[in-house]
C-alpha cells in the first residue's frame, strides 16, 4: 500500500470514529432533554407520550395536601386557565408555597395525574421561569379575550 493510501485510510478511520462519538453524544443529550409544556398544552394533548417533560405555572391556592406517609404531596399546578393535578414523593423546596411559581419534571399517568420526579420553586419574589411566566401570561390573555367576546356591547 502506498503512503498516500495509508493516509487516506487513517483519515477515513478518524472521521468514522468522530462520527460514532458525535452520534453517541447527541443520543445521550436527546434522551436527557425535558421539554416544557404548560397545563393547557397537556390538556390539549401536546405533551410527549412516554417521555419525561416539565410543567410549570402557579401552585393553586388550597390544593396542597400531604399524605399520611409524610413524604407524598399532592397539589395542583395552574396556568390560570387549566389545572393539572400533580403527585410528588420527596422533600419539597423551602420556597414551595401555594400561589407561588413552580416547575415540576415527571411523566403523565393514564389517570390524568402528573407524577413529578423533581419539583423546583422560584428562588425570589421577582423570578418565575420564563416558560412558566409565558404560559401564565398566555392563559391570562386568552381568558381576557373570552370574557371580552362574551360581554354585550
pLDDT at 94 over 60: yes
Q: Are residues 53 and 10 in the same domain?
A: no
Q: Are residues 19 and 2 in the same domain?
A: yes
Q: What is the 3-state secondary structure (H, E, C) of 96-126?
A: CCCCCEEEEEEEECCCCCEEEEEEEECCCCC
- Rounded to whole angstroms, the Cα distance separating 153 from 144 reads 15
Q: Domain holding 73: CATH number?
A: 2.40.50.140
- Rounded to whole angstroms, the Cα distance separating 74 from 111 reads 14
Q: Are residues 42 and 60 in the same domain?
A: yes
Write out the residue range of the structural domain in which residue 40 sits. 34-148
- Rounded to whole angstroms, the Cα distance separating 82 from 110 reads 18
**108 located within any domain:** yes
Q: What's the predicted TM-score (pTM) here?
A: 0.63
Q: Are residues 115 and 49 in the same domain?
A: yes
Taking only the tens place, the pLDDT of each residue in 100-149 is 888 888 888 888 889 999 998 865 555 566 766 777 777 778 777 877 77
**153 located within any domain:** no
Q: Are residues 106 and 139 in the same domain?
A: yes
pLDDT at 47 over 90: no
pLDDT at 35 over 90: no
Amino acid at each position: 500500500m502506498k503512503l498516500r493510501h495509508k493516509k487516506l485510510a487513517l483519515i477515513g478511520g478518524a472521521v468514522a470514529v468522530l462520527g460514532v462519538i458525535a452520534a453517541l453524544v447527541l443520543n445521550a443529550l436527546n434522551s436527557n432533554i425535558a421539554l416544557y409544556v404548560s397545563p393547557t398544552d397537556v390538556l390539549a394533548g401536546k405533551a410527549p407520550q412516554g417521555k419525561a417533560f416539565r410543567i410549570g405555572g402557579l401552585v393553586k391556592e388550597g390544593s396542597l395536601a400531604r399524605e399520611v406517609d409524610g413524604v407524598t404531596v399532592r397539589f395542583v399546578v395552574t396556568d390560570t386557565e387549566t389545572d393539572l393535578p400533580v403527585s410528588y414523593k420527596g422533600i419539597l423546596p423551602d420556597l414551595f408555597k401555594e400561589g407561588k411559581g413552580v416547575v415540576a419534571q415527571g411523566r403523565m399517568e393514564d389517570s390524568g395525574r402528573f407524577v413529578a420526579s423533581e419539583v423546583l420553586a422560584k428562588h425570589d419574589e421577582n423570578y418565575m421561569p420564563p416558560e412558566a411566566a409565558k404560559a401564565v401570561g398566555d392563559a391570562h390573555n386568552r381568558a381576557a379575550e373570552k370574557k371580552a367576546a362574551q360581554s354585550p356591547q
